[in-house]
C-alpha cells in the first residue's frame, strides 16, 4: 500500500512539473511573438506627413463596430477621420474600407463608405471589402482581390503592430498611421485580447490559410462603385 502511495506521489510530482514547464514555455512563446511583432512594425508607423510621400496604392481602413442606426463606433470614426485626412493630404487617391458585412443585419463597410462620401470623398474612390472578417483576411484580400501592393493601414496603434506584421508576411509593402485621438472605454481588455490575437495571426502567417471568401479580382486602380451592393 505504501509503495503504491509513493508511486502515485511521484507521478503527481512529475505531472505537476511538466504542467509548470509547459505553462512557462507557453508564456515565453506568447511574450516572444508579441515582442517580435511590435519590434518589426515600429519603424514603419509613420506620421501623416511621412505617409504622404510613400505613393500608396490605397489607404486601408480596418473595420470596427457600428452602432444601431448605422453610426460608426468611436474607434471606427477615428480610423475613418484619419484615413480621410490622409486622402485629402494626397497619401493615396483610393480608400479601401474592409470590414464585416457577413449578414444583412450587420454592415460595417457601407457605413464606412457613407461616412467618407459625406466627408467629401467621391464614391468612385471608395472601395468596400465586404468580407474583411478579420485583420488577416482583410490584408489577404487587399493583396489578392484588390491587387494592392503598397498600402497605408489605418487603425489604433495597439492593433497596428499586428496588422503590419501580417501585411509584411503576405508580401505587401505596408506602412501604418495610428488613429488614437482619445481614450477608449474597455481598452485594457482590448490590449489583453490583442496579446492572444497576435499569437493567432502569427500562426496564420505560418500556415497561410485562404480567407473565407476570395472571388474575382477588383483592382484598386479601377472604380470603387464596382464594390457597391447590387
pLDDT in tens, 209-226: 999 999 899 999 999 999
* Mean of all residue pLDDT scores within the chain: 93
Q: Which of 3-12, 35-44, 72-81 has the highest mean pLDDT?
A: 72-81
134: left (phi over 0), alpha (psi -120 to 50) or beta: beta
Domains of the chain as residue ranges with CATH: 38-227 (3.40.50.620)
Helices (H), the chain: 2-42, 48-52, 74-89, 109-118, 135-144, 157-169, 187-207
pLDDT over threshold 90, residue 62 = yes
What pLDDT is attached to residue 11?
80
What pLDDT is attached to residue 118?
97
CA distance 6 to 22: 24
What pTM, to 2 d.p., does this model score?
0.91
User: Of the given ranges (14-23, 55-64, 68-77, 218-227), which has the lowest mean pLDDT?
Assistant: 14-23
pLDDT over threshold 90, residue 10 = no
**What's the Rg (C-alpha) of the chain?**
21
Amino acid at each position: 500500500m505504501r509503495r503504491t502511495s509513493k508511486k502515485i506521489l511521484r507521478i503527481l510530482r512529475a505531472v505537476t512539473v511538466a504542467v509548470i514547464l509547459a505553462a512557462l514555455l507557453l508564456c515565453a512563446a506568447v511574450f516572444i511573438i508579441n515582442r517580435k511583432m511590435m519590434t518589426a512594425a515600429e519603424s514603419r508607423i509613420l506620421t501623416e506627413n511621412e505617409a504622404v510621400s510613400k505613393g500608396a496604392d490605397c489607404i486601408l481602413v480596418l473595420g470596427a463596430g457600428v452602432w444601431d442606426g448605422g453610426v460608426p463606433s468611436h474607434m471606427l470614426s477615428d480610423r475613418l477621420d484619419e484615413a480621410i485626412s490622409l486622402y485629402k493630404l494626397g497619401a493615396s487617391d483610393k480608400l479601401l474600407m474592409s470590414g464585416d458585412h457577413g449578414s444583412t443585419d450587420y454592415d460595417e463597410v457601407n457605413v464606412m463608405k457613407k461616412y467618407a462620401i459625406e466627408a467629401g470623398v467621391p464614391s468612385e474612390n471608395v472601395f468596400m471589402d465586404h468580407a474583411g472578417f478579420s485583420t488577416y483576411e482583410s490584408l489577404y484580400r487587399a493583396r489578392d482581390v484588390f491587387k494592392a501592393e503598397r498600402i497605408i493601414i489605418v487603425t489604433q496603434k495597439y492593433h497596428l503592430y499586428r496588422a503590419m506584421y501580417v501585411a509584411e508576411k503576405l508580401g505587401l509593402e505596408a506602412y501604418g498611421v495610428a488613429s488614437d485621438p482619445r481614450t477608449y472605454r474597455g481598452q485594457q481588455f482590448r490590449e489583453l485580447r490583442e496579446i492572444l490575437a497576435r499569437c493567432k495571426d502569427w500562426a496564420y502567417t505560418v500556415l497561410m490559410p485562404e480567407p473565407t471568401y476570395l472571388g474575382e479580382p477588383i483592382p484598386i486602380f479601377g472604380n470603387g462603385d464596382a464594390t457597391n451592393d447590387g
